[in-house]
């Protein structure tokens, strides 16, 4: 079993917990309101804007023996720059005020997700942040490939309101292949345990982010 296979296996329960959250389960079948979709995008903006900063913090915190990861970090940074602005543009295309979303205070659950990763990088093991990368890329691929079409059809919104989801559907399939190759080169048991720990914890923290999003779709689609 490769380390990537082990990572998938050992995060299975946390992933199931995430996909059981009503806001996400209903979103994947298109059964959410526009307000719920915009609320999701708003919280996404407030954690995605930290992705490049997380990567920079990880690179700075790596010991000399792990600096071979810098090339991968640099590639991720180039790929992720500006994605938070795509989200704001989707909010505008969905008929909401993107500047209001930019200025909004994120939910506590989103703040905890962000704070956890900064703390883990600084205080425990920067390599562990790759667990957050796994969570984000595997989740966004699932949401993009399954949910975007269903939400767009259910809400009658233009495709311009889904640029973040559609782009990540294609991008993160490639990113996951890159990620698989990368983590299979990590052989230090301490680093492997850190990646699994962060992946499990961030799946659970992201589930909390999703649960905190106002969910009016359930009422709208009730029989």
DSSP the chain: --HHHHHHHHTHHHHHHHHTSHHHHHHHTT---HHHHHHHHHHHHHHHTTHHHHHHHHHHH--GGGGGGHHHHHHHHHHHTTHHHHHHHHHHHTTS-HHHHHHSPPPHHHHHHHHHHHHIIIII-GGGGHHHHHHHHHHHHHHHHHHHHHHHHHHT--GGGGHHHHHHHHHHHHHHHHHHHHHTT---HHHHHHHHHHHHHHHHHHHHHHHTS---HHHHT--
Q: What is the pLDDT of residues 16-58, one digit of tens each?
A: 999 999 999 998 888 999 999 999 999 999 999 999 999 999 9
Instruction: List, for residues 130-166, the tens digit of each pLDDT value.
Output: 999 999 988 877 777 678 888 998 899 999 999 888 8
Q: Mention the CATH class of domain 3-220.
A: mainly alpha
- pLDDT grade, residue 219 (50/70/90)? very low
Mean pLDDT throughout 120-136? 97
Residues 52-87: tens digit of each pLDDT: 999 999 999 999 999 999 999 999 898 888 889 999
**Can you give the residue ranges of every domain in the chain?**
3-220
């Amino acid at each position: 079993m490769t380390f990537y296979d082990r990572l998938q296996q050992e995060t299975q329960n946390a992933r199931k917990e995430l996909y059981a959250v009503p806001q996400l389960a209903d979103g994947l079948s298109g059964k959410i309101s526009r307000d719920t979709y915009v609320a999701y995008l708003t919280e996404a903006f407030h954690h995605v804007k930290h992705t490049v900063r997380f990567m920079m913090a990880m690179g700075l915190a790596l010991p000399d023996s792990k600096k071979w990861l810098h090339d991968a970090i640099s590639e991720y940074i180039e790929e992720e720059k500006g994605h938070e602005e795509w989200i704001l543009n989707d909010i505008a295309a969905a008929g909401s005020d993107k500047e209001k979303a930019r200025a909004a205070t994120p939910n506590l659950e989103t703040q905890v997700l962000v704070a956890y990763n900064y703390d883990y990088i600084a205080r425990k093991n920067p390599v562990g942040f790759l667990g957050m990368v796994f969570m984000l890329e595997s989740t966004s691929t699932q949401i993009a490939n399954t949910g975007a079409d269903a939400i767009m059809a259910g809400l009658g919104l233009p495709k311009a309101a889904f640029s973040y989801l559609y782009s990540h559907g294609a991008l993160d399939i490639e990113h996951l292949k890159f990620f698989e190759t990368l983590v299979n080169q990590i052989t230090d048991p301490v680093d492997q345990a850190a990646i699994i720990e962060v992946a499990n914890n961030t799946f659970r923290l992201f589930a909390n982010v999703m649960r905190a999003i106002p969910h009016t779709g359930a009422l709208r689609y009730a029989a």
